[in-house]
């Protein structure tokens, strides 16, 4: 994996986590329960994907550092 790709994955993972957690805090009150269930699932899945992308990127950077 190239260094650029690894850095991109780390940045993308951090951005996804920040963006979706921020959305979770900004959800307005007054919606039906199903709205919060759906958005909660979306937030959870995207935070997990952000973590996975970040871990892949960090592992790529570490592997690249040991090989170079």
Tell me which residue has tokens 């979306």.
Answer: 42
pTM of the model: 0.85
Domain count of the fold of the chain: 1
pLDDT, tens digit, 9 for 90 and up, residues 12-63: 999 999 999 999 999 888 899 999 999 999 999 999 999 999 999 999 999 8
Six token digits for residue 60: 């790529």
In this prediction, residue 67 has a pLDDT band, given cuts at 50, 70 and 90, of low
Q: Which of 4, 8, 2 is nearest to 53 (CA)?
A: 8
Do 7 and 62 meet the contact criterion of CB atoms below 8 Å apart?
A: no
Domain range for 36: 3-67
């Amino acid at each position: 994996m190239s260094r650029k790709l690894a850095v991109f994955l780390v940045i993308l993972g951090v951005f996804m986590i920040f963006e979706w957690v921020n959305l979770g805090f900004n959800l307005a009150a007054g919606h039906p329960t199903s709205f919060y269930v759906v958005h909660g699932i979306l937030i959870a899945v995207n935070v997990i994907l952000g973590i996975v992308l970040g871990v892949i990127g960090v592992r790529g950077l570490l592997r690249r550092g040991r090989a170079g």
